[in-house]
A = this chain, B = another copy of it.
């Protein structure tokens, strides 16, 4: 029998407790022994619930109980999660977490401690909720140079963009709806500005590169500037608009960015709708593989956390190496990255065409959607060159990177 403690009885924590209870027999079969919930750490009491007698308020009770070998951290936030997890690993306990902030910031260090103490630090649920992606990158896609990881890693923004596309609605209207449905926070910044997706792609990039990719180095651009008009032009172009987190290895190095992207229908990520998440992995031999499913939600996320518990039980006394080292990975400056751009601007297309062609080389004009404005698509151009050319133009209303 293995004793487990859960830190935090919020949405994910209560989901973990539910999965441990409802799937006890399958877990016993898969882990090779019974998994017993011994403690739940929370500030509150939960009288009248099945965990009533398991609740403790002092982490040290858990830390100092040598019977507890696996700790589940699902409190969120960096503090006190970081100090709890660190001291648990130092004690030789395994830790499983869904906490992307913690993993993005301290993952490499915590993995280092786990290695030193011959125990494990697992975080499958920190990226893309229930979708297996961390473990497949570490254990399955091992014969390839991974050239690119791109994903729809934030359900809130994908819900908003899907609804804007379907209903022709404005960003602010749909955001308000999403907030009233509970799909978006009252302060939606972390989602809509791409920070949440940025932390997740930083984690995936670290695993792929085997070095520490800092979230602070990830270029992020949110969806707040995407308009109903942009979706109208997108329809003409046969593309959709998604918030894509992308990590790419080129001849000159790796870049990581989170930005809205227009994606041609038919590309795998283009058909990922609503709150669903998906991750595409491009290997130099494998080509494109996509992993698709529930990126959030109590039970799917809890399922991923509990699969980490199973792995922790299977690998007691054996550190599973994932190669994510502490040395920092330098990224290519975004200025050097090449993209094609969709640009929507004021004025008359035929009048502006000569100056556009001079600035961007060949451009493709879109069929018109709104009076007094037009849109065009550039060829591949370095971000810095695009920015310089765009700055010299007056009347640009929006620009979005595009993959046709």
| A→B interface (CB under 8 Å) | 19, 22-23, 26-27, 29-31, 124, 130-132, 135-136, 139-145, 210, 266, 268, 271, 273, 283-294, 297, 299-300, 302-307, 309-311, 323
Contact = CB atoms under 8 A, between A and B. Distances in A.
**Interface hub of A273, A285, A288, A305 (most chain B Cβ within 10 A):** A285
Contacts of A307: 140-143
A29 B325 CA distance: 13
B26 A145 contact: yes
A289 B140 contact: no
Contact of A132 (B23, B141, B303): B141
Contact of A143 (B144, B294, B297, B310): B310
B23 A284 contact: yes
Nearest to A268: B292
A290 B292 contact: yes
Contacts of A323: 29-30
B130 A19 contact: no
A140 B144 contact: no
B142 A30 contact: yes
A331 to B, nearest CB: 20
Which of A144, A271, A304, A305 has most chain B Cβ within 10 Å? Answer: A144
Question: How often does this chain occur in the complex, in copies?
Answer: 2
Contact of A289 (B26, B291, B310, B311): B291
Contacts of A140: 124, 132, 135-136, 307
A275 to B, nearest CB: 11
Given A140-B124, A143-B23, A289 B130 contact: yes
Given A285-B23, A285-B300, A132 B136 contact: yes
Nearest to A18: B285
A132 B303 CA distance: 19
A303 B287 CA distance: 10
Contacts of A300: 285-287
A271 to B, nearest CB: 5
A306 B297 CA distance: 35
Given A286-B300, A289-B293, 15 more contacts: A22-B284, A23-B284, A29-B210, A130-B286, A135-B140, A139-B139, A143-B309, A143-B310, A285-B302, A285-B306, A286-B293, A286-B294, A287-B294, A287-B299, A290-B290
A142 to B, nearest CB: 4
27 contacts: A19-B143, A23-B285, A26-B145, A27-B142, A29-B323, A30-B142, A30-B323, A132-B136, A135-B139, A142-B307, A143-B303, A143-B309, A143-B310, A266-B273, A268-B292, A271-B271, A285-B299, A285-B300, A285-B303, A285-B306, A286-B294, A286-B300, A286-B303, A286-B304, A287-B297, A290-B292, A291-B292
Contact of A136 (B22, B23, B136, B299): B136
Q: In this complex, which of A29, A143, A294, A300 has the most chain B Cβ atoms within 10 angstroms of its Cβ?
A: A143
